[in-house]
Amino acid sequence: MADSIIDTLVQMRGIETNFVDAWGKPTTVQPGTKEKLLGAMGYSIDDTEQLTQQVETQINDTWMTPINPVQVLRDGDDVSIAVRLPIELTNETIVFSITFESGHCQQFTTQLVEHTLVNATEVNGSEFQEYIVNLPFALPHGYHQLSLQMEDGDEIGLGRLIQAPNACYTPDAIAQGKKIWGLSIQLYCVRSARNWGMGDFTDLANLLHKAADQGADFVGLNPIHALYPNSPDDCSPYSPSSRKWLNHLYIDVTAIAGYTNAKVQALVTAPQFTAQLTHTRAIEYVDYDAVSDLKMPVLRALYDINKDNDAVQSELDAFITAGGESLANLTRYDALQSHLKAQGAEYWGWPVFPEAFASADNPQVAEFAETHSDAVRFYAYLQFIAQQQFEQASAVAQSRNMIIGLYRDLAVGVSEGSAEIWGAKDLYVTSASVGAPPDILGPLGQNWGLPPMDPMQLYAQAYQPIIELFAANMRQSGALRIDHAMALLRLWWVTKGDHADKGGYVYYPVDDLLGILALESHRNQTLVIGEDLGTVPEEIREKLAVNGVYSYRVFFFEQAQDGGFYSPSHYPVQSMSTLTIHDFPTLIGYWHCHDLELGKQLGLYPTEEILGPLYQSRHDNKQQILNTLHGHGAISNNVGHHVEHVGMNQELNFGLQTHMATGSSALLSLQLEDWLQMDKPVNIPGTYKEYPNWKRKLSHNLEDIFNQPDIVALAQQINSARIAASN
């Protein structure tokens, strides 16, 4: 009996028990996994009677909800609505009322018995019937409200209709065949003579100018989501506090109104301040605590000074109002963390907050926000300034006629103790984490410490959280990269306490999510790139392509069965190609196996049985790369033909990059680290404090990079190759 109920629930909740792994082998999840995942979702797995009641309640609730909470339609679809009512109401006159996003309203009056009956059941002693009603409306793109009413005006059902384009937006120039390129950068790693120890939005604006000078059409960024003002060293851009807001440390403090004020100047000219500033600029790795110690007192002083600026206060008020509940949750969370930290209490995240403050909707949180309103408003001011400066950088790209301009990265989730989860406890499953099964990048599997959204709750909330998420990250951005794009289809859930290889896949409503993605893409005129690496079913790649999502093709992963590397000229046109990624070594690091050496030191490859084949595979791959580059004339005979005698040098490095530029992908992204021939990785997957992840800076100041003749010559070669590939 219990097994039957569990199997029913596994199907209802989209848990996949069989899948094909990264090596193409059919695989079954480990025993007990599906039960653990259901337990994480809130089901009483160990109590058959209660579990049965939970399933019956869930089914009955669906039947007793007259219309679905949300329906996503694509261009050309009929507006077909499923309606469930007690049998005694099916002969009554029903009014379907649609309020369009514009405010215009249309109605359709009918009786259910005049339409197609598709299902019937008994709920609590009453018979319910389900009909499909085709509404005679053409819906414009957007978010519309559907109300189901009796003839006397009583509302009996409410839902959302989302009308979306069939595919995501592509700029005209790219649609017409132009092949473009750009630089990808971890913004924090930018050195400059003027920043305060990490890259900021003014550096970004300057980089856009310099990239445009070389013919680039975009600059790609790491996720720039809001992190933790009171825990600056929690710096992973892929474990943010909120994906809807910005990291305040990217603010250029010197560009804020009031910076020349005497009080501010007294702070920034103090000997201790200037000594610390010199130190943070000079060191090899970003010291986030030191940068925060420099910026936060000055930002606070600027906030106080601008209290007397009526124009600033009026704009800030409007910003706070527009930010709504999402901004209120973030700023209250940051103020509360600051308060707890000052008291010497535990503060790393809501799991250690006092019980009264453990959820954003607790009444004590509202009381705290009122009592500490100035602190809350200060954190809103930080978001206000960050948004202003980001928009100013985006305006630079537009002024330089860059086809894409800014290209953002959307992280797959938020960390467990984040403000985003604190404000949406019902949406996130905090007893599980997102990760990945064993694959080439992570042979032991990966657990990212990011609680997943519950797909059933996401649906019940009419997809509003995902709508807001896409909209926030597309705003003022010409392209958006969806990190781990498989999240649109399925996520690898790992329950707390388990190793990553003991997880299982949970499915999401991919067609609905792709529809929303397409709608927001067109609204914001943002091209969408799906990071489709790892364990990826081929059918999802096809689905993403049909929906206008650009594939993500990494040279080192594009290998044929015989070990040879596909020529970039064979990549899909609808793709972004790149040599390497943030979770992979730089070109020099790859060629000299620095990543394998580091992995051995850090215990990622604990045995020679694991490490030995990796070294052999790397040796074989490098030989295949040499064969490919020589075969295509990308490097001269000055670079040897046998890997045993060839180290990574400038000709080989630049040859790889120009080889990529000849390819068929519409977009090409190249890492600035590889232009500078750097060797250290920015991140080592599977590590936390063992390696200074997300801290390594560029080797040169931004002001100096594009003064180097070799760099300018490389840019010209890439630009010429892209132009030739367009013809």
Q: Tell me the C-alpha distance between 592 and 709, whole Å.
A: 26
Predicted confidence (pLDDT) per residue in 474-506, tens digit: 999 999 999 999 999 999 999 999 999 999 999
Amino acid found at 314: S
Angle between helix 310-342 and helix 373-399 axes, rounded to 10 deg = 120
pLDDT band at 444 (very low <50, low <70, confident <90, very high): confident
What share of the chain in percent tops pLDDT 90?
90
Closest by CA to 144, choosing from 97, 108, 111, 190, is 97
Q: Are 516 and 255 in contact (CB under 8 A)?
A: no
Amino acid found at 548: G
What pLDDT score was predicted for residue 165? 98
Predicted confidence (pLDDT) per residue in 445-473, tens digit: 889 999 999 999 999 999 999 999 999 99
What CA dihedral angle connects 613, 616, 620 and 622, to 10 degrees? 110
Q: Tell me the C-alpha distance between 708 and 704, whole Å.
A: 7
Overall average pLDDT of the 655-678 stretch = 97
Q: Tell me the C-alpha distance between 74 and 512, whole Å.
A: 9
CATH number of 76-164: 2.60.40
Answer yes or no: is pLDDT of 309 > 80.
yes
The DSSP symbol for 452 reads P
What pLDDT score was predicted for residue 539? 82
> What is the domain partition of the chain in residue ranges?
76-164, 244-380
Predicted confidence (pLDDT) per residue in 313-354, tens digit: 999 999 999 999 999 999 999 999 999 999 999 999 999 999
Q: Are 319 and 380 in contact (CB under 8 A)?
A: yes
Q: Please write down the HEC assignment for all residues of 212-255.
A: HHCCCCEEEECCCEECCCCCCCCCCCCCCCEEEEECHHHCCHHH
Answer yes or no: is pLDDT of 689 > 90.
no
Q: Tell me the C-alpha distance between 645 and 189, whole Å.
A: 33
pLDDT band at 21 (very low <50, low <70, confident <90, very high): confident
Predicted confidence (pLDDT) per residue in 524-579, tens digit: 999 999 998 877 778 889 999 999 999 999 999 999 988 899 999 999 999 999 99
Q: Are 522 and 169 in contact (CB under 8 A)?
A: yes
Predicted confidence (pLDDT) per residue in 146-203, tens digit: 999 999 989 999 999 999 999 999 999 999 999 999 999 999 999 999 999 999 999 9
What pLDDT score was predicted for residue 2? 63
* Three-class DSSP category at 506: strand
Answer yes or no: is pLDDT of 66 > 80.
yes
Query: Which residues contact residue 250 at a Cβ distance below 8 angstroms, ignoring those fewer than 6 apart?
Result: 187, 188, 198, 199, 200, 201, 204, 224, 386, 389, 390
Query: What pTM value is reported for the model?
Result: 0.95
Q: Are 207 and 200 in contact (CB under 8 A)?
A: no
What pLDDT score was predicted for residue 249? 98
Q: How many other β-carbons are positioned within 10 Å of the β-carbon of residue 16?
A: 15
Amino acid found at 214: Q
What pLDDT score was predicted for residue 577? 98
Query: Which residues contact residue 164 at a Cβ distance below 8 angstroms, ignoring those fewer than 6 apart?
Result: 72, 73, 74, 75, 141, 515, 516, 518, 519
Q: Which class for 468: exposed (0-12), middle (13-18), buried (19 or more C-beta within 10 A)?
A: middle
Answer yes or no: is pLDDT of 1 > 70.
no
What pLDDT score was predicted for residue 610? 86
pLDDT band at 20 (very low <50, low <70, confident <90, very high): confident
Overall average pLDDT of the 511-521 stretch = 98
What pLDDT score was predicted for residue 441? 63
Q: Tell me the C-alpha distance between 48 and 41, whole Å.
A: 16
Predicted confidence (pLDDT) per residue in 260-295, tens digit: 999 999 999 999 999 999 999 999 999 999 999 999
Element holding 127 (H helix, E strand): strand 126-135
Q: How many other β-carbons are positioned within 10 Å of the β-carbon of residue 64?
A: 14
Strand partners, 157: 148
CA distances from 386 to 336, 405, 689 (A): 21, 18, 28
